[in-house]
Amino acid sequence: MFGIFEVSAVLAGFALLIWGSDKFVDGAAGMARTLNVSPLIIGLVIVGFGTSAPEMLVAAVAGLDGNTGLAIGNALGSNITNIALVLGATALMVPLTVHSKLLKREFPVLFLIMGLTLILLLDGNLGRIDGIILLSGLLGFILWMIYLGKKSQAENSGVAHDPMQDEFEEEMPDKLPIGKALVLLTIGLIVLLVGAKLVVWGAVSIAQAFGISDLIIGLTVVAIGTSLPELATTITSAKKGEHDIAIGNIIGSNMFNLLGVLGIPAVIHPAAFDSDVMTRDVPVMVLLTIALYLMAKGWAGKAGKINRIEGAGLLIAYFAYLGTLFVMST
């Protein structure tokens, strides 16, 4: 039987993941500012990568320990949690308006990445070739984001600015000396690794004690815990009126999850996975992503908006999904 020690390990791991992610982003963003990198690129790439760092480190540790099911559950569960729980809760508090041209460019890429992921998972096996393809896609995605940021900065150097560019400009941290930035980066990475190890060990112990699969634990407990940085960033941005950052953070994080969080364990420890992934979890993720797109798109030239009713609908969908997992696991 598991005890208070395992539960404490998971909670402590989540706390370390959040703190480590924050320090990692501070160090990377501060160094980028010192090197005069565009705030838009810092926001899109560095902050997006940093908020997905907990999922990636957990996936790496899970892969090394042979718990590929937990890593898959973490990737898909985090995407479901990001849209239904994080955006749902945020919109319930602060209705979200979407203006940015960047979001209209990102949605098609997100659907493309989901389509690629679906094709790779159809055989019921997450193989090493699949992982290489996904990680290559992650590299291409990062390069595309850098290109997009530079292009948008050049286009908006005149009279009009993309709202997201202005929001990132306001949120950027101060410049940091290279030495101090490297120290923060190193500390953040070490803390992330320790937190990830604690989360995986505790979560697997709890799953074994209850006789449920690593996949279910990854979809629920681990996904919620590793999505806490996105929750904090999204709510904070929404309260400040930075709605494009709030939604852009979720879209970017979901892309990183599919490419990186699935790709890393596939390369480390290829394995077959439960058929429920394709019949239950992937369809839920796709449907929620389509719903988010329709909400954020806007119609008749008007900006898209996720209102409180839609936020409540997302939350209801999330808890219905959790209920389905509970029933199926028991």
pLDDT tens sequence across 268-307 = 999 999 999 999 999 999 999 999 998 888 665 566 788 8
Domain 4-329 has CATH 1.10.3470.10: no
If we measure between CA atoms, which residue out of 277, 60, 44 comes closest to residue 165? 44
Quick one: pLDDT at residue 282? 96
Quick one: pLDDT at residue 254? 92
Q: What is the rounded CA–CA span in Å between residue 20 and residue 42? A: 18
Quick one: pLDDT at residue 154? 62
- The number of beta carbons lying within 10 Å of the beta carbon of residue 8 is 12
Quick one: pLDDT at residue 84? 95
Can you give the residue ranges of every domain in the chain? 4-329
Q: What is the rounded CA–CA span in Å between residue 12 and residue 132? A: 32
- The number of beta carbons lying within 10 Å of the beta carbon of residue 181 is 21
Quick one: pLDDT at residue 111? 95
> What's the Cα-to-Cα distance from 73 to each of 68, 115, 157, rounded to whole Å?
9, 18, 42
On the CB side of 267, how many CA atoms lie within 13 Å of its CA?
15
Tens-binned pLDDT, residue by residue, of the chain (330 aa): 557 888 898 889 889 988 888 887 778 777 777 766 665 566 667 777 777 888 888 999 999 988 889 999 999 999 999 999 999 999 999 898 876 665 677 889 899 999 999 999 999 999 999 999 999 999 998 888 777 767 766 665 554 555 555 555 555 556 677 788 788 888 888 888 898 889 988 888 888 888 888 899 999 989 988 888 778 778 877 777 777 777 878 888 899 999 999 999 999 999 999 999 999 999 999 999 999 998 888 665 566 788 899 999 999 999 999 999 989 887
179 near 36, Cβ under 8 Å? no
Residues 59-72 as b/e (b if ≥16 CB within 10 A, e otherwise) read bbbbbebebbbbbb
> What's the Cα-to-Cα distance from 177 to each of 16, 29, 114, 237, rounded to whole Å?
25, 11, 39, 27
197 near 31, Cβ under 8 Å? no
250 near 107, Cβ under 8 Å? no
Quick one: pLDDT at residue 296? 82
pTM: 0.85
